[in-house]
Structure 1
């Protein structure tokens, strides 16, 4: 212990920051050197389930610890709370967070028990933490407020399984974050939000995840995005909803779409400056009302279905949009139409350098096999820029063989091809290796690796 005590104070505080707050306070008993050191720890984590401590005792401990804290700021204040937590305690801790100039505040609620009422974060959170740079909320309920929301210093916001008062509250919350740069949202089915509006001019990174729910009604769920400074975009949405991107994203560098939209092409036309792109575009039997109500109204049912199919074909892929900066492309092969998407992206990505194909999701047994039709002309990227092809989960179907054969005999700059077989049968793998080895290659310097 003497050797540890001789370490610099900054290093000791960093070590204490890795411990639960209950253990941090216990270090005061070690020696005179440690007697008051705990009062300056910059990162604190309070877990009311730690060592099965009674909640009332836990609450008093947190109150006293925060009252005695002497550091100029608290870098991180992290609460892991169960449903026995009281709303008044949270109000006290929020006031203490403002007093201690907390930079990062985290509230994480254990919602596994259904016996207790849900915990609602008070409206003082929106006005009493003006020094916050990072706010992370997990499985909490936000209280409605009539006063204005103010987060003048907030740059990072994470909202995971949060319940809101409604759509307007979300818009007001985000519009109050004038310097927000990073937003991470994972919606839950009971969040009370139909259209999630993200209009933040300063935003640079945006993650929006919304999973399908069997209990969803006929409401049109979706996202509306207006973020002209955005550089990173990640959307996962299986609800057969919609996404509208307003005013384009001229600074976008990296984007990922794993969505079930019928108008994916409309979205992708707004991100043509992207350099890295990850795609899994699922077909949707439900076409958003926003795109169809003006077309199908007063049209016979058979004609209406035909119009829906036509609209889908026009909006599914970004035909005519040139991705002039795209260098790295990943495409999921789980959908029947992935070949159509692949050829569309090759055609409109003249500077593509690497291509990765992988089945990220299980293929439904009812899905038909994709249909391969060799294009009349070779895409420019195969002639002048494509250097790497990686295929994960290669099965050796006729369509897959045709795709590999086309790329090998067309890509003049190809340097490496890596194929990972999905088969566990050594004989099957050997057969696939032989088939691929005899395919003609346009590039004499191409290295072939099969696993």
Structure 2
């Protein structure tokens, strides 16, 4: 007779195993034996996924009733609450969602994940003032209270994907996220540029920042006086067509000087889209003295967009003199200005190891562009170990 070794494991180990399962499946283990019957009731993580009901053609009401029964009858801590809905016709309300989340908050909630079909629910919640929350992921929600009003003293990781925030005239925009290390914002809509600036200003210990396609209502150019530095930031990925915090204006140079300092940033990936200008790229390099790796994505729509003009700068950013190791230009169309920038990097980067040009197809380049690449290949290099590659 085989020994049931799994059932012999300590309760804490079994709780951990069950925490990875949707709660409905975890509950089904109660029929295995008397040993298993009470275990799922003490698992500190709840995971509600409507797909198990949809696949079995069960009424959606059964799904919401199960959530109520599980949360409201539980007297143990709830460290993780995960709600994932695939059905765009889910029939629970904002008030019901708030009941569930608030019940979890009262039981010491640390990790909250809510993923809904896009634009299906407007949500206003007290979650942005939860003192115990460590990880927050919101996907597909709209009409949220603006995150720049948040007071989340323990939050370390924040993911905002396919979300839209509403303006709050009754509150002063001031984010307080002192413990935040990772910020991931994708396909998000803010009511104004300043709200995004205020959000970043409230993250003094941010280490990783990923901003991808951010939209906001038209408004004045943001003021950076709220903060001058993200001193802990190590990596920044900004892939954001429409991320026009820096705009063309008669005082454009002034706003370039107001870019915050990133004294410890070592890795940056930039796709500036329609805001692309070499002045902006050089200003970013100037404000990143420890930058070691830079990736510049040239993905734009040149049919509607004028190629940025290259003007040789009069000074060399500090990172080029002593730090920059790798430089990648991807989605290159082998424009003249792109190659001028590559020359400038190779001629001034003393410790550069690799310069890589990622084209959209070497075989499709015409004779003139091939000549430009040959000219770049013959360009003198400040670093004796620099390797130039075309891919």
Post-superposition shift, 1:346? 4.4
Post-superposition shift, 1:100? 4.9
Aligned to 1:154, which of 133, 144, 147? 133
Q: Which residue of 1 aligns with 2:180?
A: 204
Change (3 A) 1:54 1:212: closer
Q: Give secondary structure in 2 for the equivalent of 1:369.
A: coil
Q: Which residue of 2 aligns with 1:25?
A: 27
Post-superposition shift, 1:443? 2.5
Change (3 A) 1:142 1:449: same
Post-superposition shift, 1:107? 4.4
Change (3 A) 1:353 1:150: closer
Q: Which residue of 1 aligns with 2:385?
A: 445
Q: Which residue of 2 aligns with 1:271?
A: none
| Partner Cα separation in structure 2 for residue 100 and residue 201 of structure 1 | 22
Q: Which residue of 2 aligns with 1:34?
A: 36
Post-superposition shift, 1:160? 4.8
Aligned to 1:248, which of 221, 227, 235? 227
Larger mean CA deviation between 409-418 and 344-353 belongs to 344-353
| Partner Cα separation in structure 1 for residue 315 and residue 230 of structure 2 | 31
**TM-score of the superposed pair, with normalisation by structure 2:** 0.72
User: What residue ranges of structure 2 are gaps of 5+ in the alignment?
Assistant: none
Q: Which residue of 1 aligns with 2:250?
A: 310
Larger mean CA deviation between 86-95 and 404-413 belongs to 86-95
| Partner Cα separation in structure 2 for residue 443 and residue 349 of structure 1 | 20
| Partner Cα separation in structure 1 for residue 64 and residue 379 of structure 2 | 70
Q: Give secondary structure in 2 for the equivalent of 1:399.
A: helix
**1:103-125 deviation line (CA, Å, top 9, x unaligned):** 4344444467xxxxx7xxxxxxx
Post-superposition shift, 1:416? 2.1
Aligned length: 368
Q: Give secondary structure in 2 for the equivalent of 1:79.
A: strand
Post-superposition shift, 1:357? 1.9
Change (3 A) 1:14 1:377: closer
| Partner Cα separation in structure 1 for residue 272 and residue 116 of structure 2 | 37
Q: Give secondary structure in 2 for the equivalent of 1:22.
A: helix
Change (3 A) 1:18 1:263: closer
Post-superposition shift, 1:262? 6.8
Q: Which residue of 1 aligns with 2:215?
A: 238
The answer to whether the Cα contact below 8 Å between 1:393 and 1:422 also exists between their aligned partners in 2 is: yes
The answer to whether the Cα contact below 8 Å between 2:141 and 2:164 also exists between their aligned partners in 1 is: no
| Partner Cα separation in structure 2 for residue 243 and residue 9 of structure 1 | 53
Change (3 A) 1:439 1:160: same
The answer to whether the Cα contact below 8 Å between 2:237 and 2:268 also exists between their aligned partners in 1 is: no
Aligned to 1:355, which of 294, 316, 320? 294
The answer to whether the Cα contact below 8 Å between 2:7 and 2:35 also exists between their aligned partners in 1 is: yes
Q: Which residue of 2 aligns with 1:13?
A: 15
| Partner Cα separation in structure 1 for residue 284 and residue 174 of structure 2 | 28
The answer to whether the Cα contact below 8 Å between 1:78 and 1:106 also exists between their aligned partners in 2 is: yes
Within a 5 Å distance, the mapping from 1:99-178 to structure 2 comes to 100-110=107-117, 139-142=121-124, 151-160=130-139, 162-164=141-143, 174-175=150-151, 177-178=152-153
Post-superposition shift, 1:365? 1.4
Change (3 A) 1:52 1:362: farther
Change (3 A) 1:427 1:75: same
Q: Which residue of 2 aligns with 1:373?
A: 311
Post-superposition shift, 1:310? 1.7
> Cα RMSD (Å) of the superposition?
4.3
The answer to whether the Cα contact below 8 Å between 1:230 and 1:249 also exists between their aligned partners in 2 is: no
Q: Give secondary structure in 2 for the equivalent of 1:142.
A: coil
| Partner Cα separation in structure 1 for residue 27 and residue 186 of structure 2 | 39
| Partner Cα separation in structure 2 for residue 86 and residue 142 of structure 1 | 12
Larger mean CA deviation between 55-64 and 86-95 belongs to 86-95
| Partner Cα separation in structure 2 for residue 69 and residue 323 of structure 1 | 46
The answer to whether the Cα contact below 8 Å between 1:140 and 1:161 also exists between their aligned partners in 2 is: no
Q: Which residue of 2 aligns with 1:57?
A: 62
Q: Give secondary structure in 1 for the equivalent of 2:26.
A: helix
Q: Give secondary structure in 2 for the equivalent of 1:199.
A: coil
Q: Give secondary structure in 2 for the equivalent of 1:77.
A: strand
Q: Which has the higher contact order (CA 8 A, sep 6+)?
A: 2
User: What residue ranges of structure 1 are gaps of 5+ in the alignment?
Assistant: 113-117, 119-138, 214-218, 265-282, 285-308
Is residue 279 of structure 2 the alignment partner of residue 340 of structure 1? yes
Post-superposition shift, 1:45? 1.6
| Partner Cα separation in structure 2 for residue 88 and residue 403 of structure 1 | 54
Aligned to 1:402, which of 324, 340, 345? 340
Change (3 A) 1:108 1:353: closer
**1:2-27 deviation line (CA, Å, top 9, x unaligned):** 45444454443333222222222222
Within a 5 Å distance, the mapping from 1:58-77 to structure 2 comes to 58-66=63-71, 69=74, 72-77=76-81
**TM-score of the superposed pair, with normalisation by structure 1:** 0.64
Post-superposition shift, 1:313? 4.1
